[in-house]
């Protein structure tokens, strides 16, 4: 089955702890994205990666970090510097080729991780 997996589904952490959310895809996509969802708001872009070993900040990158060591994997670390980490986090990948976007490129999403910081 091709798709995107995120783990865990629910995550609880104490304030001040860093936590890493997993995202894996087997769609052979170059581009991957992390979004955050808060109640009443649209999905907001945290970080994106167009290719292995490259990633860029999105609109709300403060307090987050990522890595892209393998094409299939794009883990997100929520650091203690993130002021409001409790949220729902979605990972996505797309068939967008680096620097060659097409108007029909589509993003495919994982099932998400709900992070609660106590």
Residues of the shown chain interacting with other proteins in the complex, contacts defined by CB under 8 A: 3-4, 31, 35, 40-45, 48, 50, 56, 58-59, 90, 94, 96, 98-99, 101, 103-112
Strands 31-37 and 87-94 turn out to be: antiparallel
Six-digit token string for 43: 């999905």
Name which of 80 and 109 has its Cβ closer to other proteins.
109
Name which of 9 and 14 has its Cβ closer to other proteins.
9
Q: How far is the CB of 25 from other proteins (least distance, A)?
A: 12
Q: How far is the CB of 47 from other proteins (least distance, A)?
A: 11
Distance CA 108, CA 48 (A): 14
Distances (CA, A) of 7 to 40, 96, 101, 105, 115: 24, 24, 29, 25, 11
DSSP conformation class of 73: B
Q: How far is the CB of 48 from other proteins (least distance, A)?
A: 6
Reduced to 3 states, what is the DSSP secondary structure of residue 49?
strand
Name which of 4 and 16 has its Cβ closer to other proteins.
4
């Amino acid at each position: 089955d091709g798709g995107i997996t995120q783990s865990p589904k629910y995550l609880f952490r104490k304030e001040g702890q860093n936590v890493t959310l997993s995202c894996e895809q087997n769609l052979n996509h170059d581009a991957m994205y992390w979004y955050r969802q808060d109640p009443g708001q649209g999905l907001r872009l945290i970080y994106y990666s167009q290719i292995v070993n490259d990633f860029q900040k999105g609109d709300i990158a403060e307090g987050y970090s990522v890595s892209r060591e393998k094409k299939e994997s794009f883990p997100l670390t929520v650091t203690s510097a993130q002021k409001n980490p409790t949220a729902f986090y979605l990972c996505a990948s797309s068939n967008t080729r680096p620097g060659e976007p097409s108007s029909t490129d589509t993003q495919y999403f994982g099932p998400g991780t709900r992070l609660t910081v106590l």
